[in-house]
Amino acid sequence: MGRFVNPDSSAFQVALNSKIYVDKTGLIEYTNSVLDTTNAYICNSRPRRFGKSYAANMLAAYYSKGADAEKMFSGLAISKSEDFKIHLNKYDVIHIDIQWFLANCDEADKVVPFITKCVLKELQAIYPECISPEVVTVPDALSRVKNSTGQKFVVIIDEWDVLIRDRAVSESVQDEYLNFLRGMFKGVEPTKYIQLAYLTGILPIKKEKAQSAVNNLDEFTMLQADELAPYIGFTDEEVQSLCMKYNRDYEKVKKWYDGYLLDGYQVYNPQAVVSLMLKGKFRSYWSETGSYEVVVPLICMDYDGLKTAIVEMLSGSEVEINTATFKNDPAKIQNRDDVITYLIHLGYLGFCEERGTAFVPNEEIRQELITAVKSSNWDELIAFQQESRKLLTATLEKNEEQVAAEIDKIHSEYTSVIRYNDENSLSSTITIAYLAAMQYYFKPVRELPTGLGFADFVFIPKPEYKNVYPALVVELKWNKNAQTALQQIKSKRYPDSILNYTGDILLVAINYDKISKEHQCLIEKYKKE
């Protein structure tokens, strides 16, 4: 039993000791299924506070010869698997945390030598007959052990990308580290001594130079989670169970912390959900665990369309992106889509693989991004927010002429990149125009199923504002008239779906005339029966 080679199970025991533990041992069932195959090389990337270290500690506790974990795992999902005991504590495990090694080095260029020194020392103590003093690299040591004893290794690397994400780390140091990974996992020889390789971090494996270094890893990301989707964050079913246990409002929890779409699963940030369950307060918990400051230089990059995209997403819209150009290296960001893709990996944006779109996933993240935007001092955004507040005030006051005038102004001055050609482009402008509403309302629901059709937009106030701000049911028309839109709201009973809302409801009808290039608006208070 050592620190890095064949560790005990104490790190995973800490998770089991916690007030809230959600069983994610199904991940082990997957890793067991790929042991000693070409799919046994895994890079599982996810945002901070999404359980990266927990998963790494769990795998180490399960596989390590230095642990006695049968009692620990009994009663968990993996214990019901047929091969549970076959692999339990049967392997030599190397478990290293790159963040820890970096923190304990004076300089980043000492990380790889420090890892090598520590791991070699423990391996030599376990296999003195196999590893002579002339052995100076970890891959060489593993190869010699396998050749002499037949023993293969499980290698677990936590925070694999720390040196890649840190802009202060020189390219030469990054190259040395990537060469270390290549020696560990790439080529014919590693297939002889690797039983399982599991790397986890925020970023997928770096492209370009890393592509030739470690391109044999099977990657699971926030873009494509595949089989590991239910083990990245909390699932909707798991959150529902916690809400019942701790008597929390499930729908409110969903609005605040849900929104990540991974291979058909709705996924929540585990840290945020646990904090909410224990503390009972709905707020952003990210600001308590890490700074949004990393986001500020990203959203301030001078790329065409970036700021417009940020505003659109903050307003509740989705934006199309091409994720393929990002090299998984912050130093290689080259365009708007690279920035947005990086923000997805960081967890500040959600991604729909089917539609190829990015979006703000929930209220917690919206607040974090708004804070970041405010701190970045966008002059144009400050001006835009002022106009958006005027629009919201005019809407609440049922000042139809001013609403139409404000939408005209916002479209011409602040959303010029959106060229009107149909109702969809009008819808995009309206979404952006009501950005100020996000302070008081949840993300607007688009195409909400109602009595006899689908309302274009429905704004529901946050609970703390429901006695002050009415719900808004918005219908848009293109080259028709506002009266038609208003009549449609009524005839198709659009408010029916929110009749349980206890506050007032405003019906908002907006039309754009392509010939006159003017917006018309009608607003009416809904009379509940």
The pLDDT, as a whole number, for residue 288 is 60
Report whether CATH 3.40.1350 matches the domain 379-525: yes
Residue 431's region, left for phi above 0, alpha for psi from -120 to 50, else beta, is alpha
The pLDDT, as a whole number, for residue 420 is 65
pLDDT at 415 over 70: no
pLDDT at 7 over 70: yes
Q: Lowest-pLDDT range, 229-233, 235-239, 344-348, 460-464? A: 460-464
Q: Lowest-pLDDT range, 109-118, 286-295, 398-407? A: 286-295
**DSSP characters over 406-473:** HHHHHHHHH-TTS--SSHHHHHHHHHHHTGGGGGTBPPPEEEEE-SSSEEEEEE-B-GGGTTTS-EEE
The pLDDT, as a whole number, for residue 392 is 92
With residues binned 3-state (H G I as helix, E B as strand, rest as coil), the percentages for the chain, rounded to 5, are: 50, 15, 35
The pLDDT, as a whole number, for residue 437 is 87
Q: Lowest-pLDDT range, 47-51, 141-145, 321-325, 383-387? A: 383-387
Which tops the pLDDT comparison, 85 or 416?
85
What percentage of the chain exceeds 70 in pLDDT?
93
The pLDDT, as a whole number, for residue 382 is 74
The pLDDT, as a whole number, for residue 455 is 75
> What is the amino acid identity at position 237?
E
Matching residue, tokens 């936590």: 158
One fold for both 10-220 and 379-525?
no
Closest by CA position to 260, among listed 350, 185, 388: 350
pLDDT digits (tens, 9 = 90+) for 257-308: 998 999 989 999 999 999 999 999 998 887 665 556 778 888 888 888 888 8
Q: Between β-strands 92-97 and 153-158, what pairing exists: parallel, antiparallel or unpaired?
A: parallel
Which tops the pLDDT comparison, 424 or 311?
311
Query: How far apart (Å, rounded) are the C-alpha atoms in residues 483 and 488?
Result: 9
pLDDT digits (tens, 9 = 90+) for 324-369: 999 888 888 999 999 999 999 999 999 999 999 999 999 899 888 8
Query: How far apart (Å, rounded) are the C-alpha atoms in residues 302 and 315?
Result: 21
Matching residue, tokens 């349980």: 500
The confidence band for 210, taking pLDDT boundaries of 50, 70 and 90, is very low
Rg (CA), the chain: 27
The pLDDT, as a whole number, for residue 510 is 92
Q: Write the CB contacts of 323 (distance below 8 Å, at least 6 apart in sequence).
A: 223, 337, 341, 344, 351, 356
pLDDT at 27 over 60: yes
The pLDDT, as a whole number, for residue 284 is 86
For domain 10-220, the CATH architecture is 3-Layer(aba) Sandwich (3.40)
Angle formed by the axes of helices 10-17 and 52-63, to 10°? 120
The pLDDT, as a whole number, for residue 292 is 67
Highest mean pLDDT among 181-190, 429-438, 513-522: 181-190
Q: What is the mean pLDDT of residues 127-132?
A: 92
Tokens of 245: 């246990």
CB neighbours (10 Å) of residue 380? Answer: 12
Which tops the pLDDT comparison, 439 or 10?
10
The pLDDT, as a whole number, for residue 309 is 87
Mean residue pLDDT of the chain comes to 89
Which tops the pLDDT comparison, 398 or 517?
398
Query: How far apart (Å, rounded) are the C-alpha atoms in residues 306 and 342?
Result: 13
Domain spans of the chain? 10-220, 234-375, 379-525
Tokens of 370: 């708004």
Q: What is the mean pLDDT of residues 490-511?
A: 84
First to last CA, the chain: 72
Q: Between β-strands 505-513 and 471-478, what pairing exists: parallel, antiparallel or unpaired?
A: parallel
pLDDT at 32 over 90: yes
